[in-house]
A and B are shown apart, each in its own frame.
Chain A
Amino acid sequence: MDVVVLLFLTSGLFLGWSLGANDAANVFGTAVGTRMVQFTTAAVVCSIFVVLGAVLSGSGAAHTLGKLGSVNALAGSFMAAFSAALTVYWMTRLGLPVSTSQAIVGAIIGWNLFSGSITDTNALFKILGTWVACPLLAGLIAAPLYKLTRIFLKRAKFHLLRLDAYTRAALIFAGAFGSYSLGANNIANVMGVFVPVSPFTDFNIAGMLTFTGIQQLFLIGAVAIGVGVFTYSKKVMLTVGDGLMPLSPVAAWVVVIAHSIVLFLFASEGLEHLLASGGLPTIPLVPVSSSQAVVGAVIGIGLLKGGKNIQWKILGSIGAGWVTTPIISAVVCFVALFFLQNVFNQQVYREVHYSLMPAAMDKAVKLGLPAEDLKDLESQTFKSASKFRAAVRKQTFLSKPQESKVLYYAEISRTSITPEVLGTIDRDWLGEERSKALDSLSGRTFTYKWQLSESLSAKSDLWKSLKETTANKTYNKQIKSKLDYLHRTFAIDD
């Protein structure tokens, strides 16, 4: 792999390291701080389960982050992650509460503004909603769980020492679950911005298991988190113990479980699929802040006890963090991208051009879009999504979904299916029938992404996406990632 690629990945690793140093303390802080669990035990368990969570379940939350804005040049990803890391580091130094989730969202918006990309407001509101929901949900889980645990312990009448031994074991299990959830939910913060530009390719292990490029990327990020845990988290763990409210080891266990459940809920694709197949409403898969989940859980328990011991000021600072962190991070990212592009001459984004060529106009007519109103824009090329959208808005009024469709059908992404490149593709991962369909397109070139996917769909049903329901989301995501792979592999310059 190119050394430059590795160099650019370092900012993600830095962010991962700081996440490991800070957020591992949320999972094992009370246990280690109160000496219920040894630091080494905590660090080993935490690292192993963070890696497992990131590699096995990390893609759900990364997908939502990817929707917010697709950083399409490695130098841009580097700066987004670096700005987020810098914001986290700086705010931590100032003693302000900060979350990597909020910092990275701000950085992506900063990149969107700089590159003229459009921030998906639906995805943004989905993310903002979960930030409020995360501590609330943690509190709502922690309070009844604490009550139930107390009732159980009252009935069980364990000897003080037996209770101590059981609590230790429970803290380790809860910590393992917490670390898994942390890895699954927060790896998106660390490596999410590198997903669209991932330098890794998928490979098969003994023809049985595919280790995708994204999983490889997440593995590296998770290892960086592990390094953060081992090298720096002890300090944080020992101070986190009595930060918000004095907690007994049993209450600490409740906090860790509540935090882990919340992070897991916002990361589990399996659960989403299960809920959807049962016709139940699903939980959005979004990276949330583990610190805020912990604070929510502690406050939930505090309120149950009458709310006397809670430091209410902390709630105010969390609210302030929701606003200040993304703004600071977005500004830092914007300014830093400017320097990286103009002073260091790096390509921080790849220009995505938009044009309504005849093929796209035909498509617009077929879809019932007001093509007549867009006639003036035909064959004009726009250098960014925001410029194209502004031109469209000047011509006609479109509803949000119509606007998204026009943007999708006008996005230029040239591909050429050449026999040379066909010889290098990962056929095991694509599957036999899909590969055959692709082979039949040999020699053809496409201007738009949708042209390639429609041509493939015409050749084989296996290239077709299913109806957009939550139950079909996983399948459609697989199709999309395969198409993304083809777009990357067969891409040609304008």
Chain B
Amino acid sequence: MSKSPALFRKTRILEGQIDEFLDCITEAGLIFQRAIKIYLEQGASDEFAASTKQSNEIETHGDNLRRIIETQLYEQTLIPDLRADVLKLLEDLDNLINIIQANCYRFTIEVPDIPPEYHKDFMDLTETVVTCVDTVVMSARAFFRNIEAVRDHNSKVMFYETEADKISTKLKTKAFRSDLPKVEKIHLRYFVERIDELANEAEDIADSLAIFTIKRSI
């Protein structure tokens, strides 16, 4: 990073904190992807528990960062014309980590029984939603630094969200047409929907970002 004059040091620190917050979301996505992989291979093992704990820690760190950033934005009356938009963006992004953490806990508590023939679909779904989350984080970064790129990232978010919908529909159809007991079918559907929720949330954030970008460019 280029050396800024002392006058803008506070700004530089805050920029760093926003970047760190966005890193948290990307990292949480990767942790979630690894946690699902472990669960599918080993069930609710100690290694899975460690991943859940990691998601918990990153959620706490993300929350702290968000609060610090929000407080500074208010205290220093920064970006008065876009502050409300940025605060909403940060809270929506924070919600992605919350969903990841909640999903890890759901697996720990409910221990769903996922038959091996669904493992690949579950892994595909997870990878797609995590890519979707990763892309929306890139879009958010672009909103701060390079608004021209927001549109490109957003279109990718839409693409991954549609892909995730396709995989989840395929997965749910396959489950409900199988011989599994009804209760397991419903349980599987529930987990598919909870994982897919991440992509839906990412899409909503991308929609908001599109509007914020128009406002920023006026």
Binding site for B on A (CB under 8 A): 34-36, 154, 157-162, 164-166, 169, 246, 248-249, 251
Determine if B146 and A165 form an interchain contact, defined as CB atoms under 8 angstroms apart: no
Determine if A159 and B77 form an interchain contact, defined as CB atoms under 8 angstroms apart: no
Other A-B contacts than A35-B77, A160-B145, A248-B218, 8 sampled, CB-CB below 8 A, are A157-B145, A160-B144, A161-B11, A161-B14, A161-B78, A165-B8, A169-B7, A249-B80
Q: Please, which residues of chain A bring their CB within 8 A of the CB of B11?
A: 159, 161-162, 164-165
Residue interface mask B67-92, A partner, CB < 8 A = 1:
00000000001111110001000000
- Distance in angstroms from A197 CB to nearest chain B CB is 47
Interface residues on B, range: 20 to 34
B120 within 8 A of A: no
Q: Please, which residues of chain B bring their CB within 8 A of the CB of A34?
A: 80-81
Determine if B80 and A161 form an interchain contact, defined as CB atoms under 8 angstroms apart: no
Q: Please, which residues of chain B bring their CB within 8 A of the CB of A154?
A: 148
- Most chain B beta-carbon contacts within 10 A, residue among A35, A158, A159, A166: A159
- Distance in angstroms from B120 CB to nearest chain A CB is 41
Q: Which residue of A lies closest to B13 (CB)?
A: A161
Q: Please, which residues of chain A bring their CB within 8 A of the CB of B12?
A: 162
Determine if B82 and A160 form an interchain contact, defined as CB atoms under 8 angstroms apart: yes
Q: Please, which residues of chain B bring their CB within 8 A of the CB of A161?
A: 11, 14-15, 18, 78-79, 144
Count contacts between A and B, CB distance < 8 Å. 47
- Most chain B beta-carbon contacts within 10 A, residue among A34, A162, A246: A162
B143 within 8 A of A: yes
Q: Which of B7, B15, B80, B218 contacts A159 (CB 8 A)?
A: B15
Q: Which of A36, A160, A165 contacts B86 (CB 8 A)?
A: A160
Determine if A157 and B81 form an interchain contact, defined as CB atoms under 8 angstroms apart: no
Binding site for A on B (CB under 8 A): 4, 7-8, 11-12, 14-15, 18, 77-82, 86, 143-146, 148, 216, 218
Q: Which residue of A lies closest to B141 (CB)?
A: A159
Determine if A162 and B78 form an interchain contact, defined as CB atoms under 8 angstroms apart: no
- Within the assembled complex, what's the spacing in Å between the Cα atoms of A154 and B8? 20
Given contacts A160-B143, A161-B14, A162-B15, are A249 and B148 in contact (CB under 8 A)?
no
Determine if A159 and B81 form an interchain contact, defined as CB atoms under 8 angstroms apart: no
- Within the assembled complex, what's the spacing in Å between the Cα atoms of A160 and B89? 13
Given contacts A165-B8, A165-B11, are A159 and B78 in contact (CB under 8 A)?
no
Q: Please, which residues of chain B bring their CB within 8 A of the CB of A157?
A: 145-146
- Distance in angstroms from A274 CB to nearest chain B CB is 33
- Within the assembled complex, what's the spacing in Å between the Cα atoms of A157 and B81? 19
Q: Which of A158, A164, A169 contacts B78 (CB 8 A)?
A: A164
- Distance in angstroms from A250 CB to nearest chain B CB is 10
Q: Which residue of B lies closest to A150 (CB)?
A: B217
Determine if B79 and A164 form an interchain contact, defined as CB atoms under 8 angstroms apart: yes
- Within the assembled complex, what's the spacing in Å between the Cα atoms of A248 and B87? 18
- Within the assembled complex, what's the spacing in Å between the Cα atoms of A248 and B79? 10
Q: Please, which residues of chain B bring their CB within 8 A of the CB of A246?
A: 218
Q: Which residue of A lies closest to B8 (CB)?
A: A165
Show 9 A/B contacts (Cβ-Cβ < 8 Å), sorted by A. Answer: A34-B80, A159-B11, A159-B15, A159-B145, A160-B216, A161-B18, A162-B11, A165-B78, A249-B81
Determine if A36 and B8 form an interchain contact, defined as CB atoms under 8 angstroms apart: no
- Within the assembled complex, what's the spacing in Å between the Cα atoms of A450 and B82? 66
Q: Which residue of B lies closest to A249 (CB)?
A: B81
- Within the assembled complex, what's the spacing in Å between the Cα atoms of A165 and B13? 13
Q: Please, which residues of chain A bring their CB within 8 A of the CB of B18?
A: 161
- Within the assembled complex, what's the spacing in Å between the Cα atoms of A91 and B36? 72
4 tightest A-B contacts by CB?
A35-B80, A165-B11, A160-B144, A164-B79
Q: Which residue of A lies closest to B143 (CB)?
A: A160
Q: Please, which residues of chain A bring their CB within 8 A of the CB of B14?
A: 161
- Within the assembled complex, what's the spacing in Å between the Cα atoms of A162 and B82? 13
- Distance in angstroms from A74 CB to nearest chain B CB is 48
- Within the assembled complex, what's the spacing in Å between the Cα atoms of A34 and B82? 11
- Within the assembled complex, what's the spacing in Å between the Cα atoms of A36 and B83? 12
Q: Please, which residues of chain A bring their CB within 8 A of the CB of B146?
A: 157
Q: Please, which residues of chain A bring their CB within 8 A of the CB of B4?
A: 162
